[in-house]
Structure 1
Amino acid sequence: MKVKHILFKSIAVFIFTAMLFACDGNLDEVKQMNNELSGPQSTTKDINLFYTDSGKVQANLKSPKMLDFSNETFPYREFPIGVEVDFFKKDSTKNTIISDYAIIYTLTDIIDLRGNVKIVTADSAVLNSQQLYWDESEGWLFTDQPYTIQMPNGAVNDGESFDANQNFDTFNSRTNTGIQYIDEK
């Protein structure tokens, strides 16, 4: 009976020890999985995304790489190698935005464009800045960085910061200088 009791204890200690080592191995795997979850949920390469409404193309987004962090508390999508977006109007003309880097904050609809930001409008006006924010839900653009606008007629405007609606019908510049051409007709 005593031998049987010692044998059961030995088997129990052996099983408990085996379980501890098995859990240690699983713990490392769980830590590795947790590290993987702290990165992007997905990575997309050579993205060419079309946004349509009622069968008509409204926008076309192109980028060499997109990182999707939808798994974060404050979700966002990052374009670390740059982005080019074409926005099509009803008359099939387009406005284009290009930047070296972009990040879209999903909860706020704020898009942060950085590095060689360039907007080319359908009428060939060109805006350049190093950073530009676009509030997609409000349709509003703004920056506190220096900018340059070249108009189709050759007029140039350099400024320190601005805010405008996305059609540039309303444009508020903090300070600016430039050359303007006025039609005297």
Structure 2
Amino acid sequence: MIKQNLHIIKNLVTAIAVTLFFSCENDFDKVQQVGVLQNQPIGEAENIDLKYTEYENDTVRLVANLLSPKMLDYSNRGFAFQEFPDGILLKVYDDNSKRTDITSKYAVYYEETGIIDLRGDVIIATHSKDTLFTDQLYYNEKLEWVFTNEPFYYKQTVGYTKGNGFDSDKSFKNIEMLEMGGDFELDN
């Protein structure tokens, strides 16, 4: 009787083990899909028209206007960012409501550092007709500073300058150029 019960228990354990073995699926594809989903943007927006305003002395003033055909929001990442894969047009207004236009074919904004990475035919056209052309440019929001190590072309009303490496405050009052050439005029 004990031998028969032992035999039944062995058969039962074997049947359960075989059932478990054959019922397990290879879920590697599902695991890969979870990883892909984590790499997807948490949000997507089209035809962006964001207006940044400032409230001062009972008046609301337009500071900037960001236009873009598409924005992908990756704030679900450890190092959050927003991507503008189809480029941007950023209109920035100074205290006198004079406008500077910034365009690029691609842009990324990193929330944590406040750095904007502009790439592809980057153009900054100021209200005073100064224009900077480069292929990549960074803007530090906190310091209000633009910089690049790429070749640039800077056209002013009094001439032009070209070279490699450009640093400046947002109003182009304090400009530093690493390597330069072209025609330019210096103020005394």
TM-score by length of structure 2 reads 0.80
- Partner Cα distance (1:69, 1:183) in 2: 45
Bigger share in strand: 2
1-side partners of 2:87 and 2:116: how far apart?
Answer: 13
User: Cα distance 1:31–1:157, how it changes in 2: closer, same or farther (>3 A)?
Assistant: closer
Q: 2:117 aligns with which of 109, 112, 129?
A: 112
Q: Specify the code of the residue in structure 2 equivalent to 1:50.
A: K
Deviations 1:48-81, CA, capped at 9 Å, x for gaps: 1000111211000000000000000110000011
- The equivalences for 1:57-136 within 5 A come to 57-136=62-141
Shift of 1:117: 0.3
Between the aligned partners of 1:171 and 1:182, the Cα distance in structure 2 is: 12
- 1:147 is aligned to 152
1:79-98 C-alpha deviation (Å, 9 max, x unpaired): 01101100011211111110
Distance 1:61 1:29 in 2: 38
What residue number does 1:170 align with? 174
How far apart are the structure 1 equivalents of 2:107 and 2:34? Answer: 28
Q: Whole-Å Cα distance in 2 between the matches of residues 171 and 102 of structure 1?
A: 23
Match of 1:36 in 2: 37
Unaligned runs of 5+ residues in structure 1 are 1-8
Three-state SS of the structure 2 residue aligned to 1:119 is strand
SS at match of 2:150: coil
Residue in 1 that maps onto 2:7:
none
Identity, in percent, stands at: 33
Q: Distance in 2 between matches of 1:156 and 1:98?
A: 20
Q: Distance in 1 between matches of 2:184 and 2:38?
A: 53
> Whole-Å Cα distance in 2 between the matches of residues 126 and 176 of structure 1?
16
Query: Structure 2: 5+ residue runs without aligned partners?
Result: 1-11
Give the letter for the 2:77 counterpart: E
Using a 3 Å threshold, how does the CA distance of structure 1 residues 163 and 30 change in structure 2: closer, same or farther? same
2-structure distance, mates of 1:182, 1:107: 38
